[in-house]
Amino acid sequence: MPSSNLTLAVVVGSVREGRFAPVVADWFVEQAERHGLFSVDLVDLADTPLPLELPPVPPAMEPDMARPATMADLTRRLGAADAFVVVTPEYNRSFPASLKAAVDWHYTEWQAKPIGFVGYSGASGGLLAIEQLRQVFNELHAHTVRDYVSFPRYYELFGPDGRLKDPEGPDAAAKVLLDQLLWWGSLLRDARRDHPYTAAP
């Protein structure tokens, strides 16, 4: 068990008008708070302008690079997190451009930290987006945990009040995911403290 609660950033990856992501994210935040061993920070990318045009020198080569002032709060919150859960839809068999922009504007903020996923879409439940995100985050020296939560045909699973009609299965899947994040997050937090991560990009 960690000596103190881990800071878990739940990242809402969609900024699309009329998005369903906040419903899924609110459900997961409730699960994380119920778990009892995380301090949860809900990070909604819709709150931060995310330029798609990146600087000539990428963050991997210049970790202390200057970012747009409007991104300062996002950068601080990502850096303060001990673990992440990314809530992502699946758009055209992939994940949203907003999420890729947020990832690409940062580097050390992801390093040596565990990342889990909650996906939703019409057919696959976001699995194609999740598999692509695993490759992206592994390149950034993050650790993606094995288990995930998936909501295929999400529009049939949640009621008009935003609550799951049958929560037993998703709640159990969330518990497994959170247990894995707790284990990896505790070890990696201690490792970053005792042996700062210095792998070259």
Range of the domain at 185: 6-194
111 falls within a domain: yes
Q: Which two tokens stand for residue 112?
A: 């040596």
Q: Above 60 in pLDDT, residue 1?
A: no
91 phi/psi in degrees, rounded to 5: -110, 120
Domain of residue 97, CATH code? 3.40.50.360
Tens-place pLDDT, residues 62-121: 877 888 999 999 999 999 999 999 999 999 999 999 999 999 999 999 999 999 999 999
What pLDDT score was predicted for residue 201? 60
pTM of the model: 0.95
Q: Above 80 in pLDDT, residue 2?
A: no
44 falls within a domain: yes
In this prediction, residues 114-132 reach a mean pLDDT of 97
1 falls within a domain: no
63 falls within a domain: yes
82 falls within a domain: yes
Quote the number of domains for the chain. 1
34 falls within a domain: yes
Q: Above 90 in pLDDT, residue 23?
A: yes
What pLDDT score was predicted for residue 60? 79
199 falls within a domain: no
201 falls within a domain: no
